[in-house]
């Protein structure tokens, strides 16, 4: 950072009275320790500060100095100020330095604390107070100049400036020998702040109140510089030029404003001095800066042409209105001014501008003059509304002229932007600054411009032709996160003009859905985002005709924009809490993985974190009202406050609770934090000092699950495991309202409505209730619809809606008055929803789930997935082909058995729910007329394969879950294995047990199968063994003594009965001699998770296996080599696999509630293959290259090239990749299709099904309980 003084010292002999006043104060140790030097713009405060610094330095009394500059507001912050002050003072005072070093060694993060007040206390206040050797003789002075420029253009609204004033109040409490000088304009917020702080002050007056000494100083300044001009004229001017009277006249005109005198001198130096002086004196009868500025303009632009005036307006108007500083070259392009004219105007303004490449005015007074028609009466007056219009048009014209397809000539679509080595250079060469400026700021200028038809014409062209090109620029310049806001400004402008906003609204939805993809890889604007847009989307309809060589959706896909916009992944465990920042641009999340993370709500990228420090789960997070901090509550019993940008802890840990903290919130003013704990108490803390201010609040008789402040910060609402809600006085911890009773189970979530009149609550009882905050009475009937516990509720910003998240894995939005559900249920999470929140504008919902993901949803998107009701509603535990291959059957955790025709993709039959719990195993009889099923209800049943009517059973006898069933080859018997560690043989018609129980296994029997001749039974167990039994006598014939090192999950005979295949938790497949149970092939290795299911092909040459790793593999049964796979498509554990009778197909069933049929001999297209990985929505090629990105709602039902059937209650999508270009060919996506191309090559066959509410349940001891889906991932708990 440049630390030198930005202005020159006062000329020697000037300002001595002011400086003397300050120096007298320096040695007055009875005076306040803050000195405020104030005055209007231009009186020379910064020059005085510079002189004061030098005088203090020479007298060895300077402690430190800092000069704020508006143009460098981003770097010249209060934090930077106090770091520099600490550094300088520590060098001056060795003992203070030692204390500071000790503090930094104890906490290295101290220097990065974001809260400036805390930083000041840690780096300056505490160390300097610890140095007892600092006395009046050694005390130094800190000088801070231009306080009013702290915070840049935000001025008094800047949090930097607000925080700095608060720190000055803290400084005023230090010993009086520790002094600080502050200079600033007399702006209202500064005046107000100093009115509450003890200080001394001196005002440098100007105008009619100017002090005679100031006038004498200005006269002295003018005499010196005018004599220098005369001396440099080499005799052309007399030595006493311009004469005593003229100097007096100039001094009077200056009226105490040094800026007037300095600007006049600079103007005189720009031309022939006498002529320039005549211009000043000729128009100076009124005096003041306005007169001087008018004179300078008149002299610099004599009789300006219409071209010059027009160019002047454009250039100066752009300098004033620009959102970022503009280099001269970019200014010329934006203003459509030739460089000669720009140079002429720049030279004419040289006395009023700096000399750098970026044009900016030296003083704000000149800009104020130019836009005030009362002061600037000449042709140079800047008509701001007109210039706002012109600048808007300039941006739109530049984009129209320069935006184009593949603007940076990106060679391949296979990589991410960040992996392009020379991207920065490409951007610099291909996207000039004026183009990037226009792309980044056109909407902000549009917002400031009044509606007119010319601008509308350019806007319509942009929307219909250049939207995707614009996104290219944002993607390559890393600014995708501003896109939605810009389109929102466009929508507002169109509505003001009473124009259709339909295309703009669709563009915003496009960005919400694909912002993450666009930010990661520019080519995928076309390759992925456009290709997978809803077919009724206006963006899709307008642009796809221009890009025919892309992924085609033959059937399925989205018709309208889906509710789900993004899936955010990164946490390593359950997401327990989510919250939006006040501006809606950030999402903060807390997790069981003990971390907090901050995400960009537009691109889904992690922008800060992980925040580490908690030693327990992060159960609750909240964002401060100013959006700069996050508070977290943890299972480690502490709270912490973090800087949301830097991930640094800035306050805490807050200690006091003695059990886990369940809920935290900021007060509306951000100064306090509230916490609710499992220790049954509530506490209020100082958000900066971590000191407990109020509490503990006591009264709840069980854990406090949720707390919130009222909008005015005077009350607190709490919900508890004691099933009650209470309202408290935030000042004294007294309960101010009776107990809210109505829920009949744990109250999980409570919050006030935005107006503070209502309270909403959610509960384990599955209901949502709204209460009158004063009377405690219900003001609406319970909101009913969730199947299980409601874990989180929140009002929308306008109080008209309520969002809820539940352990039933859904999110719902309700009308807060009528209690009707108006959006949802929103399905997608694979485990319970722990936390939900509205965005500030109410258009978006964020949800956090036990499935470790965060999802972002739109509340105004129209599509509700429709289709048939058939298909599994829960995970698929078992699948099987009929002996003739014309049908498949599956058993599901929804307690049903279904039969489907794989050719027509239609359901043949579905059992009535005779089973009372999950179906774990199904098998056809050899003649294909019957199906046997085993269940967690400990029974076996036999069904007619044609109509799914039960024809035998229930077979009762097992004392625990039935895990596996099979028909004997002659169809007369059924074998079953169970959690009760036994095997039983049953008469298939009478349901009577005819042999068994077969006893010998010492743990769960996981799998059973008959030999082809029906004489033997093979079993596998969690006791790590395989056993062969005589089917008639129940005697054990053989036992595997070694081989698998963990549980055996699946066994099967080869068709000739000579071999047995097994799959195990040890991640291997093994083949055994069916007589001796000796291993006859080396282990089949490759799976990265437990092997759950295995089967032989009919000819015995191949083996198929399904695994916890979500893949299917086909192996050569003799060599142990993998011959197909890993087949990827399932997004959950593959619980069951089976070959078709002809050996050409494999059917698989999965935890993801999907059945897939694979043609394992099908050839894949060169890119998208059955083995292609799906990672974070991206389909990857064999070298992990990006092929295309699939929207969240389409991922589960996406057909792989080898799939011939997919069954599931999800949106199934069929792709045609015949004309899909990618890699280095991606730029051909604009090429027309060959004439012979009509439909393209099919790569899949799809069926359409519907998403419905689904919830995994099991029955345990007559008690219905929600299961942890992590358990459902285990093959032994197939729910």
Q: Could you read off the pLDDT of 598-618 as tens digits, one per residue?
A: 999 988 889 888 999 999 999
Query: Phi and psi for 966 in degrees, rounded to 5?
Result: -160, 145
| pLDDT over threshold 90, residue 1055 | yes
| pLDDT over threshold 70, residue 482 | yes
Token pair for 121: 């206390």
- DSSP state, 1006? E
Residue of 330, 522, 511 lying closest to 423 (CA atoms): 522
The neighbour count for residue 673, using CB atoms within 10 Å, is: 29
Token pair for 497: 């003009």
What integer pLDDT is reported at residue 135 of this predicted model?
A: 86
704-709, strands of its sheet edge to edge: 704-709, 715-720, 725-729
What integer pLDDT is reported at residue 872 of this predicted model?
A: 87
**CA dihedral of 1178, 1201, 826, 1248, whole degrees rounded to 10:** 160
Q: What is the mean pLDDT of residues 624-653?
A: 92
What integer pLDDT is reported at residue 154 of this predicted model?
A: 64
What integer pLDDT is reported at residue 376 of this predicted model?
A: 83
Q: What is the mean pLDDT of residues 348-367?
A: 71
| pLDDT over threshold 80, residue 1013 | yes
Rounded Cα–Cα distance for residues 860 and 844 (Å)? 8
What integer pLDDT is reported at residue 1272 of this predicted model?
A: 35
| pLDDT over threshold 70, residue 299 | no
| Range from 355-364, 468-477, 500-509, 1120-1129 carrying the lowest mean pLDDT | 355-364
Token pair for 417: 């932007």
Rounded Cα–Cα distance for residues 443 and 137 (Å)? 59
Of the pLDDT bands very low, low, confident and very high (cuts 50, 70, 90), residue 76 is confident
Q: Which residues pair with residue 1266 across a beta bridge?
A: 1257
950-955, strands of its sheet edge to edge: 919-924, 930-935, 940-944, 950-955
Tell me the C-alpha to C-alpha distance, in Å, between residue 608 and each of 332, 477, 480, 588. Answer: 38, 20, 17, 9
Do 1106 and 1125 touch, CB atoms closer than 8 A? Answer: no
Percent of the chain with pLDDT over 70: 92
Token pair for 359: 């044009």
Query: Phi and psi for 26 in degrees, rounded to 5?
Result: -55, -40
Tell the residue number behind the tokens 């691109």, with chain if given: 603
Residues in the chain: 1279
| pLDDT over threshold 80, residue 1103 | yes
Rounded Cα–Cα distance for residues 349 and 361 (Å)? 9
Token pair for 728: 């408290």
Rounded Cα–Cα distance for residues 566 and 704 (Å)? 32
Do 945 and 928 touch, CB atoms closer than 8 A? Answer: yes
| pLDDT over threshold 80, residue 352 | no
For the chain, list the domains and their CATH numbers: 16-204 (3.40.50.300), 212-287 (no CATH), 301-382 (1.10.10.10), 386-547 (no CATH), 565-858 (2.130.10.10)
Rounded Cα–Cα distance for residues 1143 and 1100 (Å)? 9
Do 250 and 261 touch, CB atoms closer than 8 A? Answer: yes
Q: Cα angle at 675 between 670 and 676, to 5 degrees? A: 150
Tell the residue number behind the tokens 């490449």, with chain if given: 357
Tell the residue number behind the tokens 């350019």, with chain if given: 458
What integer pLDDT is reported at residue 1109 of this predicted model?
A: 95
Q: What is the pLDDT of residues 503-521, one digit of tens each?
A: 999 999 999 999 999 999 9
Q: What is the pLDDT of residues 98-124, one digit of tens each?
A: 988 888 877 777 777 778 888 898 899
Of the pLDDT bands very low, low, confident and very high (cuts 50, 70, 90), residue 936 is very high
Rounded Cα–Cα distance for residues 449 and 49 (Å)? 41
SS3 state at 750: strand
Tell the residue number behind the tokens 């030279």, with chain if given: 347
- DSSP state, 868? B
Token pair for 35: 């000195």
Token pair for 582: 């006040």
The secondary structure element, H or E, covering residue 971 is none
What integer pLDDT is reported at residue 282 of this predicted model?
A: 66
Token pair for 1253: 């509410």
Q: What is the 3-state secondary structure (H, E, C) of 1043-1099?
A: CCCCCEEEEEECCCCCEEEEEECCCEEEEEECCCCCECCCCEECCCCCEEEEEECCC
Rounded Cα–Cα distance for residues 1257 and 1262 (Å)? 12
| pLDDT over threshold 80, residue 126 | yes
Q: What is the mean pLDDT of residues 635-653?
A: 91
Q: What is the pLDDT of residues 722-743, one digit of tens each?
A: 999 999 999 999 998 778 888 9
Q: What is the mean pLDDT of residues 938-961?
A: 94
| Range from 558-567, 574-583, 933-942 carrying the lowest mean pLDDT | 558-567
Q: Which residues pair with residue 634 across a beta bridge?
A: 618
The neighbour count for residue 169, using CB atoms within 10 Å, is: 15
Query: Which string of DSSP letters, residue by residue, matches 439-475?
Result: HHHHHHHHHHSPP-HHHHHHHHHIIIIIHHHHHHHHH
Query: Which string of DSSP letters, residue by residue, matches 674-690?
Result: EEEETTS-EEEEETTT-
Mean pLDDT of all residues in the chain? Answer: 87
CA-based radius of gyration for the chain: 38
Q: What is the pLDDT of residues 415-429, one digit of tens each?
A: 999 999 999 999 999
Q: What is the mean pLDDT of residues 552-571?
A: 90
Do 769 and 761 touch, CB atoms closer than 8 A? Answer: yes
The neighbour count for residue 1141, using CB atoms within 10 Å, is: 15
Q: Cα angle at 528 between 524 and 531, to 5 degrees? A: 130
| pLDDT over threshold 80, residue 651 | yes
Q: Which residues pair with residue 138 across a beta bridge?
A: none
| pLDDT over threshold 80, residue 898 | yes
What integer pLDDT is reported at residue 1261 of this predicted model?
A: 31
What integer pLDDT is reported at residue 362 of this predicted model?
A: 63
Token pair for 625: 């009202």
| pLDDT over threshold 80, residue 1244 | no
SS3 state at 1193: helix
Question: CB under 8 Å to 852, separation ≥6 — which residues?
Answer: 569, 571, 572, 573, 574, 575, 591
What integer pLDDT is reported at residue 207 of this predicted model?
A: 61
Q: What is the mean pLDDT of residues 816-827?
A: 91
Tell me the C-alpha to C-alpha distance, in Å, between residue 444 and each of 173, 374, 581. Answer: 44, 28, 22
Of the pLDDT bands very low, low, confident and very high (cuts 50, 70, 90), residue 1259 is very low
What integer pLDDT is reported at residue 1168 of this predicted model?
A: 83
| pLDDT over threshold 90, residue 1161 | no
Long-range contacts of 1041-1047, Cβ-Cβ distance < 8 Å, separation of 24 or more: 1041/1077, 1043/1070, 1043/1072, 1043/1079, 1044/1068, 1044/1070, 1046/1090, 1047/1003, 1047/1004, 1047/1006, 1047/1021, 1047/1022, 1047/1023, 1047/1090, 1047/1276
SS3 state at 358: strand
Q: Which residues pair with residue 177 across a beta bridge?
A: none
pTM, two decimals, is 0.75
SS3 state at 808: coil
Rounded Cα–Cα distance for residues 545 and 516 (Å)? 24
Rounded Cα–Cα distance for residues 1175 and 1167 (Å)? 15
Rounded Cα–Cα distance for residues 512 and 1067 (Å)? 41
| pLDDT over threshold 60, residue 866 | no
What integer pLDDT is reported at residue 288 of this predicted model?
A: 61
Q: What is the mean pLDDT of residues 445-455?
A: 94
Of the pLDDT bands very low, low, confident and very high (cuts 50, 70, 90), residue 489 is very high
| pLDDT over threshold 60, residue 1265 | no
Tell me the C-alpha to C-alpha distance, in Å, between residue 1250 and each of 827, 1200, 1208, 1211. Answer: 11, 20, 8, 7
Rounded Cα–Cα distance for residues 699 and 1195 (Å)? 49
Query: Phi and psi for 815 in degrees, rounded to 5?
Result: -75, 120
Of the pLDDT bands very low, low, confident and very high (cuts 50, 70, 90), residue 1241 is very low
Of the pLDDT bands very low, low, confident and very high (cuts 50, 70, 90), residue 1255 is very low
What integer pLDDT is reported at residue 155 of this predicted model?
A: 67
Of the pLDDT bands very low, low, confident and very high (cuts 50, 70, 90), residue 1266 is very low
| pLDDT over threshold 50, residue 97 | yes
What integer pLDDT is reported at residue 3 of this predicted model?
A: 53
Tell the residue number behind the tokens 């018997």, with chain if given: 973
Q: Give 369 or 661, the one with higher predicted confidence.
A: 661
Tell me the C-alpha to C-alpha distance, in Å, between residue 959 and each of 923, 1020, 1261. Answer: 22, 18, 12
Percent of the chain with pLDDT over 90: 60
What integer pLDDT is reported at residue 1268 of this predicted model?
A: 37
Task: Provide the sign of the torsion angle of the four alpha carbons 590, 596, 597, 601, taken in this order.
Answer: positive
What integer pLDDT is reported at residue 1073 of this predicted model?
A: 93
**CA dihedral of 639, 641, 644, 645, whole degrees rounded to 10:** -130
Token pair for 741: 């009773």
Q: What is the mean pLDDT of residues 907-935?
A: 92
Q: Cα angle at 385 between 383 and 390, to 5 degrees? A: 90
Token pair for 1095: 């089967």
């Amino acid at each position: 950072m440049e630390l030198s003084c930005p202005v020159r010292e006062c000329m020697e002999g000037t300002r001595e009275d002011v400086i003397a006043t300050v120096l007298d104060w320096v040695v007055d140790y009875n005076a306040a320790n803050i000195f405020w030097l104030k005055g209007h713009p231009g009186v020379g405060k910064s020059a005085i500060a510079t002189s004061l610094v030098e005088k203090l330095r020479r007298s060895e009394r300077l402690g430190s100095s800092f000069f704020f500059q508006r143009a460098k507001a981003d770097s010249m912050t209060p934090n930077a100020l106090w770091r520099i002050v600490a550094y300088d003072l520590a060098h001056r005072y060795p003992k203070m330095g030692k204390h500071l070093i000790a503090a930094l060694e104890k906490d290295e993060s101290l220097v990065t604390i974001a809260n400036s007040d805390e930083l000041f206390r840690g780096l300056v206040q505490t160390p300097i107070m610890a140095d007892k050797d600092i006395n009046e003789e050694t005390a130094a002075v800190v000088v801070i100049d231009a306080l009013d420029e702290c915070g840049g253009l935000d001025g008094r609204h800047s949090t930097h400036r607000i925080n700095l004033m608060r720190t000055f109040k803290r400084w005023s409490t230090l010993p009086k020998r520790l002094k600080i000088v502050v200079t600033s304009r007399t702006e209202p917020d500064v005046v107000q702040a100093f009115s509450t702080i003890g200080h001394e002050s001196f005002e440098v007056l100007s105008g009619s109140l100017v002090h005679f000494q100031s006038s004498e100083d200005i006269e002295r300044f003018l005499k010196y510089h005018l004599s220098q001009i005369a001396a440099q004229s080499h005799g052309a001017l007399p030595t006493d030029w311009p004469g005593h009277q003229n100097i007096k006249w100039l001094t009077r005109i200056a009226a105490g404003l040094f800026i007037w005198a300095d600007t006049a001198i600079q103007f005189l130096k720009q031309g022939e001095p006498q002529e320039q002086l005549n211009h000043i004196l000729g128009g100076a009868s009124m005096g003041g800066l306005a007169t001087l500025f008018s004179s300078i303009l008149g002299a610099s632009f004599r009789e300006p042409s219409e071209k010059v005036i027009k160019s002047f307006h454009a250039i100066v108007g752009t300098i004033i209105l620009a959102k970022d500083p503009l280099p001269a070259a970019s200014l010329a392009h934006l203003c459509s001014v030739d460089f000669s004219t720009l140079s002429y105007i720049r030279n004419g303004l040289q006395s009023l501008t700096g000399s750098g490449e970026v044009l900016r005015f030296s003083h704000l007074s000149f800009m104020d003059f130019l836009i005030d028609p009362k002061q600037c009466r000449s042709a140079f007056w800047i008509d701001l509304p007109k210039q706002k219009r012109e600048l808007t048009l300039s941006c739109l014209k530049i984009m129209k002229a320069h935006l184009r397809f593949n603007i940076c000539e990106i060679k391949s679509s296979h990589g991410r932007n960040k992996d392009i080595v020379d991207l920065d250079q490409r951007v610099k060469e291909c996207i000039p600054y004026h183009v990037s400026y226009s792309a980044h700021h056109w909407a902000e200028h549009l917002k400031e411009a009044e509606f007119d038809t010319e601008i509308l014409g350019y806007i319509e062209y942009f929307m219909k032709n250049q939207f995707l090109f614009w996104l290219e620029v944002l993607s390559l310049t890393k600014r995708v996160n501003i896109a939605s806001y810009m389109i929102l400004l466009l929508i507002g402008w169109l509505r003001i003009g009473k124009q259709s906003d339909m295309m703009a609204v669709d563009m915003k939805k496009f960005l919400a859905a694909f912002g993450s993809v666009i930010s990661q890889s520019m080519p995928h604007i076309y390759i992925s985002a456009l290709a997978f847009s809803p077919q009724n989307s206006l963006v899709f309809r307008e642009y796809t005709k221009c890009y025919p060589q892309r992924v085609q959706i033959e059937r399925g896909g989205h018709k309208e924009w889906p509710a789900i916009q993004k899936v955010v992944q990164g946490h390593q465990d359950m997401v327990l809490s989510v919250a939006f920042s006040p501006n809606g641009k950030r999402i903060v999340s807390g997790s069981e993985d003990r971390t907090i993370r901050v995400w960009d709500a537009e691109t889904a990228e992690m922008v800060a974190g992980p925040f580490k420090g908690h030693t327990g789960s992060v159960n609750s997070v909240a964002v401060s009202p100013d959006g700069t901090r996050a508070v977290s509550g943890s299972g480690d019993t502490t709270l912490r406050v973090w800087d949301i940008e830097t991930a640094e802890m800035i306050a805490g840990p807050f200690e006091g609770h003695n059990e886990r903290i369940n809920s935290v919130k900021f007060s509306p003013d951000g100064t306090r934090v509230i916490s609710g704990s499992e220790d049954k108490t509530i506490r209020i803390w100082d958000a900066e000092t971590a000191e407990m201010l109020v509490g503990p609040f006591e009264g709840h008789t069980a854990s406090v699950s949720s707390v919130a402040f009222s909008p005015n910060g005077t009350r607190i609402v709490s919900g508890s495991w004691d099933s009650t809600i209470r309202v408290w006085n935030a000042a004294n911890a007294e309960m101010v309202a009776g107990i809210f009773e109505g829920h009949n189970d744990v109250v999980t979530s409570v919050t006030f409505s935005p107006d503070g009149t209502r309270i909403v609550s959610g509960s384990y009882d599955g209901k949502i209730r709204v209460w009158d905050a004063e009377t405690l009475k219900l003001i609406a009937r319970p909101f009913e619809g969730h199947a299980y516990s409601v874990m989180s509720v929140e009002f929308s910003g306008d109080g008209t809606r309520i969002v809820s998240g539940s352990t039933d894995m859904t999110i719902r939005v309700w009308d807060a008055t009528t209690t009707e559900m108006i959006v949802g249920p929103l399905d997608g999470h694979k485990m319970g929803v722990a936390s939900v929140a509205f965005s500030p504008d109410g258009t978006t919902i964020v949800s956090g789930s036990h499935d470790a993901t965060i999802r972002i949803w739109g509340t105004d998107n129209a599509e509700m997935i429709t289709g048939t009701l058939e298909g599994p509603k829960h995970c698929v535990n078992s699948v099987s082909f009929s002996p003739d291959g014309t049908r498949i059957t599956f058993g599901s955790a929804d307690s049903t058995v279904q039969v489907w025709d794989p050719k027509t993709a239609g359901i043949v039959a579905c059992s009535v729910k005779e089973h009372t719990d999950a179906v774990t195993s199904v098998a056809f009889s050899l003649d294909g007329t019957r199906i046997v099923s085993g269940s967690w209800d400990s029974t076996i049943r036999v069904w007619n394969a044609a109509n799914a009517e039960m024809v035998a059973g229930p077979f009762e006898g097992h004392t625990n879950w039935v895990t596996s069933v099979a028909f004997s080859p002659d169809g007369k018997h059924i074998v079953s294995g169970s959690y009760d560690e036994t095997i039983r043989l049953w008469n298939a018609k009478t349901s009577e047990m005819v042999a068994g129980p077969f006893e010998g296994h010492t743990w769960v029997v996981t799998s059973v199968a008959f030999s082809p001749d029906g004489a033997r039974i093979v079993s596998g167990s969690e006791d790590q063994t395989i056993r062969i039994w005589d089917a008639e006598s129940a005697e054990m014939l053989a036992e595997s003594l070694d081989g698998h090192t963990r549980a055996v999950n699946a066994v099967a005979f080869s068709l000739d009965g000579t071999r047995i295949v097994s799959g195990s938790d040890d991640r291997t497949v093994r083949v055994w001699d069916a007589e001796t149970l000796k291993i006859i092939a080396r282990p089949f290795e490759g799976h990265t998770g437990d092997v759950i299911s295995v089967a032989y092909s009919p000819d015995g040459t191949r083996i198929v296996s399904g695994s916890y790793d979500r893949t299917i593999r086909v192996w050569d049964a003799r060599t142990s080599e993998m011959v197909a796979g890993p087949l990827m498509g399932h997004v959950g554990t593959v619980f069951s696999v089976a070959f078709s009778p002809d050996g050409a197909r494999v059917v698989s069933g999965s935890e993801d509630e999907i059945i897939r049929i694979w043609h394992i001999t099908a050839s894949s297209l060169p890119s998208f293959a059955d083995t292609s990985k799906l990672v974070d929505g991206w389909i990857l090629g064999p070298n992990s290259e990006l092929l295309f990105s699939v929207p969240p709602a389409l991922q589960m039902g996406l057909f792989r090239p080898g799939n011939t059937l997919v069954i599931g209650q999800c949106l199934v999508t069929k792709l045609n990749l015949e004309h899909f270009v990618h890699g280095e060919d991606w730029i051909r996506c604009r090429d027309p299709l060959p004439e012979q191309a009509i439909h393209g090559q099919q790569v899949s066959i799809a069926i359409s099904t519907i998403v419905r509410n689904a919830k995994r349940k099991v029955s345990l001891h007559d008690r219905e309980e929600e299961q942890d889906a992590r358990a459902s991932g285990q093959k032994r708990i197939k729910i």
